[in-house]
A and B are shown apart, each in its own frame.
Chain A
Amino acid sequence: MIRMLSAELLKLRRRWASYIVLAVLVVLMGLVFLLVGFAGKGSSSAGLVVSFPGAYGLINQFVFGLGSLLAVAYAAAIGGADWNWGVIRVVIARGESRGGYILVKALAIAIVLLIGVLIAYLAGILFTFGGAALAGIPAGNPFESGSLGRLVRMIADGYVVLLERASIGFGVAVLLRSQLAGVVIGIVLQIGETILAGVLLALMISTRFGGPGLRGLDNLGTQWFQFLPFNIGNSVLNSSTSSPNDLASAVLQPVEINLALLVTAIYLVAALAVAVITTERAEISS
């Protein structure tokens, strides 16, 4: 297994996508931090974004928000590649365990994503200092007493969400035996779910305040759509940052963090199970 994992990591090291995805994330994040610092020169409100601990909110949004979208595409591209290039045929004909191969591939992707998350987080911390310097305010101590543990927890929870979303892209790509299908469907699902949640939230607010709405959306409790595969991750991320600042968090009863993590983990395992079972049962004809 170690040999196969090492081979999978070699494949990922050699793929440009591994570097491009991270570069896109880091560059966009850097631009935003520097722009905020530049625009907020002399303004105290800039300190909410380019100083610690407030900066972690923006870093999280990039690393686990945009980052998860990129992770879906990346995992789908890697998961579907073996089918697109016909390499899965060679691997199976060599007597490799089908399920084992898929799981090792998923593990390699998880390792690369973890490295990417850590690099992006580190870059976010450095950009915060840069933004603070431009804004002319102190950045503060990113690891001040008591916040280090919270930071580790934030990264760990966010990483679970990232993995879950990546595993959905991976699972779709393996299920449909196509990189492109995995990338497109994974991204459409993520964006589609966000739009769906937004529409339902608007209807909920409308219903609550006497406007046109939908039956069953008139209470402020936890709603079913919060448990959809991508929305449940938002619950984890919002709980982790403990500074929910979007409209949904203000109106909806948040899903309890441990429950949200459990549901996220179930989706992760389910997506991998789909990939494994599909591969185990697949008849490979071309």
Chain B
Amino acid sequence: MAHADGMAIVTRGLTKRYGARVALSGLDLNVPRGQVYGFLGPNGSGKTTTLRLLVGLMRPNAGTIEVLGQPYSWRDRRRMFRIGSLIEAPSFYPYLSGRENLVVFAATGSPTPRGRVEESLAAVGLTERGRDKVKTYSLGMKQRLGIASALLSNPELLLLDEPANGLDPAGIVAMRELLRYLTATGRTVLISSHILPEIQQLADVIGIIDRGRLVREGPLESLLSETARVRAWVPPAEVPRALSILSAMNAPLEAAPPGTPHAGWITVRVPADRSAEVNRLLAQNGIYASALDVSSDLESVFLSLTMGGPPEDGGRPLGPPPGWGASAAVEQGIGPPPDAKP
């Protein structure tokens, strides 16, 4: 197995079968330390199976795993002390309060210092509801409590399976801030999600899995550059002339068919930083674009790799509503500072 300096997780040839069905087929994953790794894949592609293998819930049929610089097996309990995880749906004792749930979890696994329960509750903004029974919590609150549970052991590596499930927009932004803070303090976060715009905002590195195999892995920017495009809206009658002008950019061009609702939109497949050039070329030739749209979306990359082609419209990033618990978390020393990048 290749030694992986600077890697939090390395898997080689990881294979897992459920009876005759192959869930993972030779997965080679490279998760760099101190970064947010977006782990993407369609339903049933093997994401959750991978996470289960990484936290010792299951044994692989073949392959190796290296976690935090050392070979790892499912019996390696000490290594698990350094991992925080939220796998599948958050699980709790419904008849206990949120705080009591964290207390009973803190009593298992790695030694958890006193006060850590309160810090973790504060980090996810649940201090005030900590005394309420979990059965009264909304899905979003349970999800936040699940993240708090993952933070209990102050982990170096955080594995989160669909952590944004059930979170409201404010909760998603707050979670994003918290995870950014955690990586800023040297932790590694592997986050599996279906919410691609969220991953696009959060992740530094992306791994895309399909049918148990890694189909693409790399820095987010380099993946996005593959599908970057600039769209300009010009009067439909000017489209042929605009296409002729923009051909000078030596980039693929597309125009929406005349007579369709999208008539007038011209797509130039260039990186976002060349959008000004598109605008300038058109203006210099007397065509004034009424709208300019720059996009390089992860959804296009994802769909092209897992379904063979991008959709008609890419996803749009969510706006930044106010977060939960960030200031309280900072007070407790676990959350991001107020000036953390949103």
Contact = CB atoms under 8 A, between A and B. Distances in A.
Contacts of B57: 89, 92-93, 283-285
A10 B88 CA distance: 26
Interface in B81-128: 81, 83, 85, 87-89, 91-96, 100, 103-105, 107-110
A4 B87 contact: no
B151 to A, nearest CB: 12
B9 interface: no
Contacts of B105: 90-91, 94
A256 interface: no
B51 to A, nearest CB: 9
A8 B96 CA distance: 12
Contacts of A85: 91-94
Given A7-B107, A91-B108, A92-B55, A97 B91 contact: no
B108 A7 contact: yes
A75 to B, nearest CB: 17
Contacts, number: 87
B109 A7 contact: no
Interface residues of B, number: 34
B162 to A, nearest CB: 14
Interface string B140-171: 00000000010011000000000000000000
A14 interface: yes
A201 to B, nearest CB: 43
A87 B92 contact: yes
Contacts of A215: none
Contact of B88 (A16, A87, A286): A286
A85 B95 CA distance: 11
- Mostly, the A contact residues are helix
B87 A89 contact: yes
B80 A94 contact: yes
B238 to A, nearest CB: 58
A284 B96 CA distance: 23
A81 B91 CA distance: 11
A3 B95 contact: no
A6 interface: yes
A94 B80 CA distance: 6
Given A89-B57, A90-B105, A94-B110, A11 B93 contact: yes
B272 to A, nearest CB: 40
B96 A11 contact: yes
Interface residues of A, number: 28
A15 interface: yes
Interface string A252-286: 00000000000000000000000000000001111
Interface in A60-104: 81, 85-87, 89-97, 101
Given A92-B55, A97-B77, A284-B57, A4 B108 contact: yes
A86 B58 CA distance: 14
B55 A87 contact: no
B91 A93 contact: no
A286 B48 CA distance: 10
A96 B108 contact: yes
A92 B51 CA distance: 13
A115 B104 CA distance: 22
A95 B100 contact: no
B129 interface: no
Interface in B257-294: none
Contacts of A284: 52, 57-58
Given A86-B88, A89-B57, A93-B83, A285 B108 contact: no
B78 interface: yes
A214 to B, nearest CB: 44
A10 B100 contact: yes
Contacts of B56: 92-93, 95
B107 A6 contact: yes
Given A85-B91, A86-B91, A93-B56, A14 B108 contact: no
A283 B18 CA distance: 11
B124 to A, nearest CB: 15
B12 interface: no
A86 B88 CA distance: 10
Contact of A93 (B80, B93, B95): B80
A10 to B, nearest CB: 6
Nearest to B82: A95
Given A92-B55, A94-B109, A14 B96 contact: yes
A11 B95 CA distance: 9
B216 interface: no
Contact of A285 (B58, B91, B95, B107): B58
B136 to A, nearest CB: 14
A3 B105 CA distance: 10
B87 A94 contact: no
A11 B59 CA distance: 30
Interface of B: 18, 52, 55-59, 77-81, 83, 85, 87-89, 91-96, 100, 103-105, 107-110, 149, 152-153
Given A93-B56, A95-B80, 17 more contacts: A4-B107, A6-B107, A11-B93, A14-B95, A16-B95, A85-B91, A86-B89, A89-B88, A90-B91, A94-B105, A94-B108, A95-B78, A95-B108, A95-B110, A284-B57, A284-B58, A285-B58
**Nearest 6 A/B pairs, CB to CB:** A94-B109, A95-B80, A86-B91, A7-B107, A93-B55, A96-B108
9 contacts: A85-B93, A89-B57, A89-B88, A93-B57, A94-B152, A95-B56, A96-B109, A285-B57, A285-B58
Interface of A: 3-4, 6-8, 10-11, 14-16, 81, 85-87, 89-97, 101, 283-286
